A and B are shown apart, each in its own frame.
Chain A
């Protein structure tokens, strides 16, 4: 339950302050980075289906664009607040910086509940939002993307309005578009592959051949599947995967010591990522309880489902054999569990870095849009590999040099990059 006293922006600032201390940033830099550079608050008047008029509140927070045009989603949320948008725009700045893509951080939103709006009214809000801020966003200024309760359809409406206002085509204005309408190939693979690119590099620095490793994966959604696919291709062996069973409203772990076969499992999976238990048994899988994925005797754990999955209560069940934990999901590890991981000397690739494949691919979409030239999938994934690889090494090197936990190192390097850019531009 949300605590009424909780303020996302205050929390983001506190997190920043912690790293700023580490980096010994000066006061003016802190002042600059603690707050968004620019913020837009505006009203969006809409004619509703019944002919009445309603005014919606819209926001755009551009936290920092020292490293490049702003990038960040647009949220439709009934409880949207300026502070949430501010906090999220700050996080976008760090996220783009950690993978070293030339983008800044931004975020936007509209206070509305799409459950109370018809599609036509939502379209009107999208177009209204763009009209209000069309001068201050754009492919070389600030690039929106889908977020909570917005989808490719909303993006296309916004793009259309933007292009109508500016009288030209700007496919790079917005990301998250469908393939064929300015979307990028490789988007589905991007996050899962990104996870494995960083794992591969982690194994490399530790001198371990992926072929000699085994892994257990939590989740069987898009991220998990592509992670399994690439990891298996590298020679690794996934022996356990957990999935959510919609009918039982419970999750199960599926184990086969000889290694799971992704293609085989896909044939017995429903569209929620639920694996058919009976059929799995028939294929030689053991069906275990949902929580057992974490207890497996493997080298690598990949939580790729939900947040708060590695907790104080189950982190102790992790086998001594486990050496790596790669966070495919957002926030899978609780702070308390982090401490245990450090004690156990498990190498963690933090979510911030491990699942940055998604935002990197968004960047590629924007680049392709600006050129109006679209790469084939292989090119996208190759470029992704190189971005993720160098991002990993930058974080890793920092962690080694400064003796930092990987999670802290990731923050340090990204804030450092942004502070540097501001400084070089003479802003602080």
Chain B
């Protein structure tokens, strides 16, 4: 028998056990009801009995007593049956038979389980007893004997039943009972327990000479005495209810242990796990009352097996994800027998977010429901089986190849994957999923193990494909398989591999889970689309007004499918809103509102079975009021004003519309909702998040949730005011975001005018490839990349150099230059994908609007300098009037370029610094790993980093330092009012102590100066410090002030969080 079979058999047994107990309980109640006549009791018993059998629905029971027959209505003679006699006073008075009316799977005794036979025997025994008792009562009554039989208590009956039907369980229960008694302080119990357990006292008495000898287990010789002793103690010390309640709970916990066993075993497959969960739930979920620790344990095990091993994730998820959620999940999972796969990052993210929001609804934190679309999942290891099944193994080496090669071969890889075949089990699963989705369009999304993990947002790196899901079943299935294969192939695409290489993830064994998700929307005419959709960020990195804070968040919202909000589209704009400052809109004048509004929308055309981009205007003319929420989405242009559509006057054929979402923002609670959702998720995920959402006009759906990539270095620079004009390379005054830019050595400059005047598309593409090559050749994060308009333009590449992220990923700063031509000012990119990558990689983005009064660019720095392009890439010399590479160090005697940015002042200034310039910020480089937990509070990170450095340099021998502890207020995340503290344990005295004091004071002042420069604070110290001789007694002083995180800085080998 395979382990899977064993497993399922085991679970089945468990399930039966519970049914039995429930039934026996009821049986006892019945038999003790003096008001019911015998016949009624028989009929009720056989009816209720059915449910205690494995296949209750096809189970029929017949009871014959003397000349009477009772049955459950459909008893059939010819089927296999179980039978037990009813015996009263040593005479057979009848029998009871159980059969299945239809074919049931083969089990131990025909289709029946052994336990079922035992149960039947028990029932027969109890009924016999009852019949005998009734007869006795009659006789005694006739003799007018009033003495009644001693009444057995209910719990004893239950326990006796268990003893008969399941001796091992009975023993376990007994042992638990004994412990319970012992806890309660019953002396006899202690004695009994001593009998049973390993005698530890004895060991101590034996002395040390025998310590290698195994401890002896006590063997119990007289079971019956032992048992009756415990039962007696139980009845003396607990009430009836108490005992029954405990027994019931223990039995349930006993059931769970099977599930836990399956989950904890590394070897158990997903099939086994889902079976175990199903079994577990068949034991009537509503009655299950598990101890909190068991529940947590189960949740963690399930999260680990289904979602991820990521401890941070599990830590959060275990508080929100319920067992029932997994139970619902397993029915929607497609996997191969023996699979050990997971669902992947995207699925896990949305699963967790949804559960967090659900629990927030329950706590009334969130006053409305958030849904997630119906989703099916293919587990992550299916891709491995797919590769194996189609003999595509050589693909695994792909990720170690040269990137150019990968790029070149990618089309063939795609083709190979698409030609592959799926295993029958998967096809069956997909087919089931399609039946579930019906005719609703679906989206096939990647959900890889790496994707959406903390710190690595693979936004847009892998594919997501829409399917109209129309036509015959076979057509739909083919389209679905094709899409899955395509998503699989995208794992081996150049961009993801590049991205992984860059963040040291290339060796990680990448597996690709798939989410097949219902597309949120409604059918309108031939089209299917959501009323609106978009993406929301809890941190706003695109602040268009200094009044908007990062925490105000950012919403990119479009009509129709969210693709146009998520992706960069060169010819259209999503509506941008900061949920925390909804009144501060990006566009103020009507002209702006018209220009920067979404003109197109993505829909699914159900007639042509295709994903399609349509004109918003044309669609409104076509469908008008059929468009859900249309009046909240658009405004009408009338009399040079944007007005909300008046339901009486509006004419969808004739009026001019602009997508503004004004109605939704002003008349609905959408924004507050969105803001609340973002805040809840950010709080619970403990990092800024971004979510994708959509609405069909009625309900709000969450499509994705993941940590928002963020940088820790977001403090504002102090902009030098005394920089000599001839040293200023550029200055910018619009859309400045904070972020430290390292000292730069090179400038790569694509001349906007020269670029736009290039005659052919080929030449423009050549510029992109030159940039890509330079990106590989120049030292990482040591150069700034400047060019016209939108970096990464796809469609009209005249707007900007058509690079992909991997062609610019080594620069330290990316600058987009906007220069007005006539009245036309080029638009700079507001793309998210690219942008997030930049943020993730700490590549700073800066728009340079040269037409702003305070913006300038000194081109002559570049034009007058030697253009390194001809040396580095001689084959592209013909582009040396378009692409300029300048070595600042070479041109300015070892100098460097430093870009100072300050978002609060809306100012950025790039200055050529002399060779002697060193950066004070160098000390903030990377946050200390030990202080990672501090998350986004830059101030504490910076202080920690600084202190760590100088403690490392301290002369510990001289100062007689035993240890150094660094204390950070535990709530440093939320507040920075409390100063961190340094606890120096030293035996220094007298002059030495004074010297130590002054050493620390100097550093304190020093750091305070740095702090006040960046933080604008007015405190006198950067940290508190205490010098003492005993760590424990000093620490107690801090406990009075509040809770602290303590890090041992010295000796360094103990460097870790102590509390």
Interface residues of A (CB under 8 A from B): 1-2, 4, 49, 79, 113-121, 149, 151-153, 176, 178-180, 183, 244, 246-250, 270-272, 305-309
Contact at A271–B656, with CB atoms within 8 Å?
yes
- A-B contact sample (15 more), CB < 8 A, given A113-B545, A246-B571: A1-B850, A1-B856, A116-B546, A118-B583, A118-B584, A120-B583, A149-B588, A151-B590, A151-B641, A152-B641, A249-B799, A250-B798, A271-B656, A306-B822, A306-B824
- B residues in contact with A246, CB < 8 Å: 571, 599
Contact at B584–A178, with CB atoms within 8 Å?
no
Count contacts on B: residues with CB < 8 A to the other chain.
Answer: 35
Which B-chain residue is minimally distant from A120 (CB atoms)? B583
The CA-CA distance from A237 to B824 in the complex, in Å, is: 29
The CA-CA distance from A4 to B656 in the complex, in Å, is: 41
The CA-CA distance from A1 to B617 in the complex, in Å, is: 36
CB of B933 closer than 8 Å to a CB of A: no
B56 CB to nearest chain A CB (Å): 65
Q: Which of B681-724 contact A (CB under 8 A)?
A: none
- B residues in contact with A1, CB < 8 Å: 850-851, 855-856
Listed by A's residue number, 5 A-B pairs whose Cβ atoms lie within 8 Å are: A4-B853, A178-B640, A249-B798, A250-B798, A307-B822
Which A-chain residue is minimally distant from B583 (CB atoms)? A118
The CA-CA distance from A146 to B261 in the complex, in Å, is: 76
Which B-chain residue is minimally distant from A116 (CB atoms)? B545
- B residues in contact with A119, CB < 8 Å: 583
- B residues in contact with A2, CB < 8 Å: 851, 853
- B residues in contact with A118, CB < 8 Å: 581, 583-584
Q: Which of B511-545 contact A (CB under 8 A)?
A: 544-545
The CA-CA distance from A121 to B582 in the complex, in Å, is: 13
Contacts between the two chains (Cβ within 8 Å), count: 75
The CA-CA distance from A189 to B1054 in the complex, in Å, is: 82
The CA-CA distance from A116 to B639 in the complex, in Å, is: 25
Q: Which of B827-864 contact A (CB under 8 A)?
A: 850-851, 853, 855-856
CB of B595 closer than 8 Å to a CB of A: yes
Contact at A149–B589, with CB atoms within 8 Å?
yes
CB of B58 closer than 8 Å to a CB of A: no
Interface code B588-631, partner A: CB below 8 Å = 1, 0 otherwise? Answer: 11100011000100000000000000000100000000000000
- A residues in contact with B583, CB < 8 Å: 49, 118-121
The CA-CA distance from A415 to B638 in the complex, in Å, is: 37
The CA-CA distance from A272 to B615 in the complex, in Å, is: 14
A248 CB to nearest chain B CB (Å): 6
B909 CB to nearest chain A CB (Å): 16
Question: What 3 pairs across the A-B complex have the smallest Cβ distances?
Answer: A118-B583, A178-B639, A114-B588
The CA-CA distance from A364 to B767 in the complex, in Å, is: 56
The CA-CA distance from A305 to B581 in the complex, in Å, is: 36
A388 CB to nearest chain B CB (Å): 22
B569 CB to nearest chain A CB (Å): 11
The CA-CA distance from A307 to B583 in the complex, in Å, is: 33
The CA-CA distance from A113 to B545 in the complex, in Å, is: 9
The CA-CA distance from A295 to B637 in the complex, in Å, is: 36
Which A-chain residue is minimally distant from B857 (CB atoms)? A1
The CA-CA distance from A114 to B545 in the complex, in Å, is: 10
Contact at A309–B822, with CB atoms within 8 Å?
yes
B819 CB to nearest chain A CB (Å): 9
A179 CB to nearest chain B CB (Å): 6
- A residues in contact with B599, CB < 8 Å: 246, 270
Contact at B571–A247, with CB atoms within 8 Å?
yes
CB of B823 closer than 8 Å to a CB of A: yes
Which B-chain residue is minimally distant from A146 (CB atoms)? B640
- B residues in contact with A113, CB < 8 Å: 545
Contact at A271–B617, with CB atoms within 8 Å?
yes
Interface residues of B (CB under 8 A from A): 544-547, 571, 581, 583-586, 588-590, 594-595, 599, 617, 637-641, 656, 796, 798-799, 822-824, 826, 850-851, 853, 855-856
The CA-CA distance from A307 to B590 in the complex, in Å, is: 21
B540 CB to nearest chain A CB (Å): 14
The CA-CA distance from A116 to B589 in the complex, in Å, is: 12
The CA-CA distance from A119 to B824 in the complex, in Å, is: 27
Which B-chain residue is minimally distant from A49 (CB atoms)? B583
Contact at A249–B617, with CB atoms within 8 Å?
no
Q: Which of B588, B590, B639 contacts A179 (CB 8 A)?
A: B639
The CA-CA distance from A118 to B826 in the complex, in Å, is: 26
Contact at A306–B588, with CB atoms within 8 Å?
no
Task: Count chain A CB atoms within 10 A of each CB in B546, B584, B588 and give the residue with the most.
Answer: B588
B733 CB to nearest chain A CB (Å): 10
Contact at B589–A178, with CB atoms within 8 Å?
no
A48 CB to nearest chain B CB (Å): 9
Contact at B640–A152, with CB atoms within 8 Å?
yes
Contact at A115–B656, with CB atoms within 8 Å?
no
Which B-chain residue is minimally distant from A3 (CB atoms)? B853
- B residues in contact with A180, CB < 8 Å: 639
The CA-CA distance from A268 to B855 in the complex, in Å, is: 39
Q: Which of A4, A151, A179 contacts B589 (CB 8 A)?
A: A151
Q: Which of A4, A116, A176, A247 contacts B547 (CB 8 A)?
A: A116
- A residues in contact with B798, CB < 8 Å: 249-250
The CA-CA distance from A247 to B795 in the complex, in Å, is: 9
Q: A246-B571, A271-B617 are in contact. Are A178 and B638 (CB under 8 A)?
A: yes
The CA-CA distance from A309 to B823 in the complex, in Å, is: 10
Q: A1-B850, A247-B796, A271-B617 are in contact. Are A117 and B641 (CB under 8 A)?
A: no
- A residues in contact with B796, CB < 8 Å: 247-249
- A residues in contact with B589, CB < 8 Å: 114, 149, 151
- B residues in contact with A178, CB < 8 Å: 638-641
Contact at B822–A116, with CB atoms within 8 Å?
no
Task: Count chain A CB atoms within 10 A of each CB in B639, B824, B826, B850 and give the residue with the most.
Answer: B639
Which B-chain residue is minimally distant from A119 (CB atoms)? B583
B26 CB to nearest chain A CB (Å): 65
The CA-CA distance from A71 to B586 in the complex, in Å, is: 31
Contact at B799–A117, with CB atoms within 8 Å?
no
Contact at A183–B571, with CB atoms within 8 Å?
no
The CA-CA distance from A114 to B796 in the complex, in Å, is: 31
The CA-CA distance from A248 to B545 in the complex, in Å, is: 29
Contact at A308–B822, with CB atoms within 8 Å?
yes
Contact at A117–B823, with CB atoms within 8 Å?
no
- B residues in contact with A183, CB < 8 Å: 639
Contact at A116–B640, with CB atoms within 8 Å?
no
- A residues in contact with B824, CB < 8 Å: 244, 249, 306
- B residues in contact with A248, CB < 8 Å: 796
The CA-CA distance from A118 to B581 in the complex, in Å, is: 9
- B residues in contact with A117, CB < 8 Å: 584
- A residues in contact with B826, CB < 8 Å: 249
- A residues in contact with B822, CB < 8 Å: 306-309
The CA-CA distance from A317 to B276 in the complex, in Å, is: 85
- A residues in contact with B595, CB < 8 Å: 272
- A residues in contact with B544, CB < 8 Å: 115
The CA-CA distance from A2 to B638 in the complex, in Å, is: 34
- B residues in contact with A4, CB < 8 Å: 853
B537 CB to nearest chain A CB (Å): 20
The CA-CA distance from A126 to B826 in the complex, in Å, is: 31
B989 CB to nearest chain A CB (Å): 54
B59 CB to nearest chain A CB (Å): 70
Contact at B588–A115, with CB atoms within 8 Å?
yes
The CA-CA distance from A25 to B796 in the complex, in Å, is: 56
The CA-CA distance from A358 to B180 in the complex, in Å, is: 95
Which A-chain residue is minimally distant from B851 (CB atoms)? A1
- A residues in contact with B594, CB < 8 Å: 271-272
Which B-chain residue is minimally distant from A150 (CB atoms)? B589
The CA-CA distance from A272 to B592 in the complex, in Å, is: 11
A371 CB to nearest chain B CB (Å): 21
B615 CB to nearest chain A CB (Å): 9
